[in-house]
Each structure stands twice: as structure tokens, then as C-alpha cells.
Amino acid sequence: MMATFEEQLNSLLDRTKNIKSPINTAPIGTNINEYNRPSEIWVNDVEIFYNNYLKEHSLGSRMKSILFHRSLDAYSQLISCLESIKNDQAFMDKMKGVSTEAVPKYQEKSKPEFDVFISHNSQDEDKIVEFYKKLNQNGYVAYIDWVNDKFDLKRQWCNASTAEVIKERIKQSKVFIIFLSKSTLKSQWCPWELGYADALGKKICVFQYDYDRKSAPQFYEGYPRVYIDDKIWVEDEERIEFENWISLRREKQNGKENETYGNDTRSHK
């Protein structure tokens, strides 16, 4: 059974009982990044919750600003916002119907789209956090199953309904990125997800983390690479900013592949 809006809100607030507020200075021997990581993950989860449900709330614009600037006190400010929302009885009553429809929630038309679907092996969770954060910091809404559907998808319970949720999320995403590592090569899900995204005609690229090219299937070599420094880039015959690459439309006409960006069309035989 899927968690309701109220259950997800309560879960976020309950988690704060065991999370320390972030710091910018620490005693010798304390790793600030590790110390602040639980609160950073919590803020990421709040951003997902906000994008799913809270944009129209009267505190929505304030939360958007807090999430955008991510100052040191963002954690405490977001807790205050969520506590106020929990006490907004009219809004809570309105949201109680969110999970009561007969249609599975993952198919609801009101569900927001994602900019990026990240396909990966669950063994890479620790490695993928920085990549996920970079995408968020650049303004992209990224989908990861154990983040966005953490209440509904349990890896130990993989079944036919799991596949249906994943397919729906791929449909809702503009771009499909494979997080390619040595672990990816052991995954049964990643090739399946890639094949489904390809069949849908999704834009696909590869973030190369670590892997043995000699043992990797050749089909991974056929997709452009994505890189991150101060910006996000895609190497697709030429180096292009990720945002522009997303906007690039590909059509096949008369046996030729046409790349269209704005009014500029380039044909490739």
C-alpha cells in the first residue's frame, strides 16, 4: 500500500529527531561532509516532496527559495515550513485524497515529469549521490528509484508491479542516463531499462564512472557521454551543454537523420 501525503510528511518530520543541524566548522577529527550528509539527504528528500505536492501551498514560494539557495540554515527553515504545513488543517484535508484514487499513484497525470532518469546498480548508491546532487544543483529534477519511490519500491520485493513503476518513470523523464560502472555490468535491470528507454525514443547518454571497456557490451559504446565540471556537458559528435542537448530534436526523414536545434538543421547521411 502506498504511503499517503500525510504519512510522507510525518516521516520527514520524524527523521529530524535523529538528524543533527548542519555545521560549517567542526572540531579537529570531525569530517564536516560526513557530519552534514544526513541533513543534506533530508533536504534532497524534502525537495522531492515539495515538487510532488507543495508547489501550490502558500509556503511553496518560500520553500522554493530556501531549496534554491541551500544556505546553512535551510535545514531548520524547512523543518519550520513542514511543521506549519502539518498544522494547516484545510490543506491537510485537501491532500488526504491524494492516495485514495483507484488509479495507481505512479500513473496519476498530476505526477510531475523528471528531467533525468538515472539507471544504475543499487551497489553504487554511495557513488551516485554526488552525481545526483550535481544534477539537482544545476536545476535538473533527477529520478532515482530509492530516492523518489523510497516509500513504494523495495528492492527485495521486485516483481511485475516494480517493472510497471519503472516504465512509467522512464516515460515521465526527458532524458535517460546510464551510470556506467563495473557494478552496472552485473545488473539485470540496467540493460532492460536501457532497452525500454531506447524503444520509447528517449534521449540517452552515459555517465562513465569506472568500468572495464574490454568486458563491457558494445551497445554502451553507441551512446554519447555526459561529463560534469562547473557545468554539465554531452559529447555527441561535438561538445554541447546538457541543456542544449536536451532541446536537440532528432528526426529521421528520407533515410537521413536530421538534428534540429532552434532553426538550425543539420543532416547526417
Plot region of 255 (φ>0 → left; ψ -120 to 50 → alpha; else → beta): left
> For position 255, what pLDDT does the model report?
38
> For position 3, what pLDDT does the model report?
65
Mean pLDDT of 45-51: 94
Whether the per-residue pLDDT at 258 is higher than 70: the answer is no
> For position 70, what pLDDT does the model report?
92
C-alpha cell at 208: 562513465
Tell me the pLDDT tens digit for each residue of 139-166: 888 888 887 776 666 555 566 677 888 8
Entry pTM: 0.53
